[in-house]
Amino acid sequence: MKTFVVLSDSHGRNRRRLQEMGQLFSENDFIVHLGDGSADMREIFDTYPEKTYICRGNCDFSYGAEEFTLEAEGLKIFCCHGHRYGVKSGLLRLAARAKELGCDVALYGHTHRADTETVDGVLCINPGAFGSYSDPSYCYLVLHKGKATPTTVRL
């Protein structure tokens, strides 16, 4: 079993909350930030460089990767911010890119809305906006024996 804490769209807000999540970060196998506020994760990356993965979003200018894949528990995961795949208008392009890369799961942000939806056989997961003033959230994702189980955690 592998566990992930998946964040997105922190936008420089809730840095105190990031620090308060230190215990959660230490207990999980992967920490993923999907962009827009990628610089918020520098301290987390410095503390956990072996398990922290960071995307660059449309509001980030220098920190993080455009997109990447991860593999664990027999699943391949596509990670991106989502703006390049038009996720505000639907998830077909995102799912197509994930399938092109041989991925079972796609993690994305950009919309600021937590969502889990299967599109063309790809489980698409948005953790919501960690930096939201009104409804901040993240995703706790468990992978076990080829199955992905996401849980949206409201803060």
pLDDT higher than threshold 90 for residue 9? yes
Domain of 34?
A: 2-154
CB atoms within 10 A of CB 135: 12
Distance of alpha carbon 133 from alpha carbon 153, whole angstroms: 15
CB 55 within 8 A of CB 35: yes
Q: Over the stretch 47-100, which tens digit does the pLDDT of each residue have? A: 999 999 999 999 998 889 999 999 999 999 999 999 999 999 999 999 999 999
Distance of alpha carbon 134 from alpha carbon 88, whole angstroms: 19
CB atoms within 10 A of CB 151: 10
Q: What is the CATH number of the domain that holds 112?
A: 3.60.21.10
Distance of alpha carbon 152 from alpha carbon 107, whole angstroms: 13
- Mean pLDDT for the chain overall: 95
Q: Looking at the 3D structure of the chain, how many domains does it have?
A: 1
